[in-house]
Chain A
Amino acid sequence: MKIGVLAVQGAAREHILCLSRLGVEAVPVLRPADLAGLSGLILPGGESTAQWRLLSRAGLLGPLQEALKEGLPAFGTCAGLILLAREITNWPERYFGVLDVVVERNATGRQVDSFEAEVKVEGLGEVPAVFIRAPAIRAVGPKVEVLGRYDGEPVLVRQSSILGATFHPELTEDLRLHEFFLNLCGKG
């Protein structure tokens, strides 16, 4: 199984390391050709505005949109979740829009309010999470399952083989969410 990690900007290296530790081939995705033969794609944290502009200016947008529409399993963390979301409450743009959730950018505030905490995840128990200027999930569509909550609010969601987290599992040593995603890719 080969998993791509979108690498135009952001924390791609950390996800690639997590996947490598799980014995999976992980490749950075920078060009349309990098999408060939992927069983899944991780959209890492970073700046969603910068990532989107790079994707559109480097000709990667169309091929990526196509792959996601065709059902390529995807896991978006933080900025990656924003790129996948159907709607952003406090930003005029809409990106891939393949995950039926409404998100708010920078909902936890500025960097001094960024934090680490344990998140309750269905079937996995407590999972360590790092929230960095994190978005919030304000609404979820009927086909979206809330898998993890923090402080009562959804922070990890799944819609078929698309997974979205408002936090960064790749900044911790815990690989269970990556494993969980690999299972979704295997079924796809």
Chain B
Amino acid sequence: MQKGTYRVKTGFAEMFKGGVIMDVTTPEQAQIAEEAGAVAVMALERVPADIRAQGGVARMADPKRIKEIMNAVSIPVMAKCRIGHIAEAKILEALGVDFIDESEVLTPADPFHHIDKWQFKVPFVCGCRDLGEACRRLAEGAAMLRTKGEAGTGNVVEAVRHMRLLNDQIRRLKEMSRAELVTYAKEIGAPVEILEMIQELGRLPVVNFAAGGIATPADAALMRMLGADGVFVGSGIFKSANPEKRARAIVLACTYYDDPELLAKVSEDLGEAMPGIEIEKIPEHALMQYR
């Protein structure tokens, strides 16, 4: 019997496909998410929109809060640790969290490195903006990827940018000769053997979700149309006027993204979406995606 193998980690991520993973800050919100049909919840103290608004150092959530949420639902519970914060990750693993998001939404702890995720039994998901970043995270042992987007903005444009870039780079990679691939690996800072694997598969070797700015059923459908395996919704649900209804609508939109009539139906009368922010209005140092 072998626990914590890469197959067990990436296989678990495969089970999320077509699903929605929702940020929650209380056990009650977690139950609303479960009832709406979320495939997992992300246990947090503050959603990204509040982290952005309040500023200061954003850290791993209080273990007590995470345990309360784990006890409240039967679906998997994820939690975030700071980039490079090995100790926070060890704590989350000890708590029995099902997946760790090494996340740019929290304040980075290590200016040089991400966590060596091979040293853990618990699987990790990491954000990426392009193929180079995706390959580096895979080299460190990430079992699942997501776009970074720009969290807490309710603005999907950055998630679209990151997904489009990735798609375009994989499309070009497929046509490359061995010599071109080696040069390309150097250009984008990607390990050659991981690029070779992606070239052979014709896609990323792990599940890739969209995240960062998804606020409506149409946003979720758009990301699925662009090839995302599923979506994370952060502030978009519990910062909106009617979380239950919106959560259910986003779950349906994520599965039936190719059915415009159904999308129209579920998008109707959802109440106010979360307030959005234009990316150009955010000072560069406050953009989370460059972390």
Contact = CB atoms under 8 A, between A and B. Distances in A.
Contacts of A50: 19, 37-39, 75, 251
A116 B74 contact: no
Interface in B74-91: 74-76
A133 B98 contact: yes
A107 B1 CA distance: 16
Nearest to B254: A9
Contacts of A160: none
A160 to B, nearest CB: 27
Contacts of B36: 53
Contact of A116 (B5, B19, B121, B248): B5
B34 interface: yes
Contacts of B122: 111-112
A8 interface: yes
Contact of B3 (A12, A79, A112): A112
Given A53-B251, A111-B98, A115-B1, A130 B15 contact: no
A49 B255 contact: no
B39 A133 contact: no
Given A11-B15, A46-B17, A49-B75, A113 B3 contact: yes
A117 B2 contact: yes
A47 B256 contact: no
Interface in B109-160: 121-123
Contact of B12 (A53, A58, A111): A111
Contacts of A49: 34, 37, 74-75
A49 B5 CA distance: 26
B231 interface: no
Contacts of A47: 15-16, 19, 38-40, 75-76
B4 interface: yes
Nearest to B8: A114
B34 A116 contact: no
Interface centre among A45, A112, A117 (most CB of B within 10 A): A112
B93 interface: yes
B255 A8 contact: yes
Interface string B7-38: 11001101111110000000000000011111
A178 interface: no
Contacts of B37: 49-50, 53-54, 57
A7 interface: yes
B248 A171 contact: no
Contacts of A97: none
A67 to B, nearest CB: 19
A175 interface: no
A36 B76 CA distance: 34
B41 to A, nearest CB: 11
B264 to A, nearest CB: 15
A14 B206 CA distance: 12
A132 B98 CA distance: 11
Nearest to B10: A171
A10 B18 contact: yes
A158 interface: no
B99 interface: yes
A106 interface: yes
B252 A91 contact: no
Contact of A132 (B2, B8, B17, B255): B8
Interface of B: 1-5, 7-8, 11-12, 14-19, 34-40, 74-76, 93, 96-99, 121-123, 248, 251-252, 255-256, 262
Interface of A: 7-14, 30, 45-47, 49-50, 53-54, 57-58, 78-79, 90-91, 105-106, 109-117, 130, 132-133, 168, 171
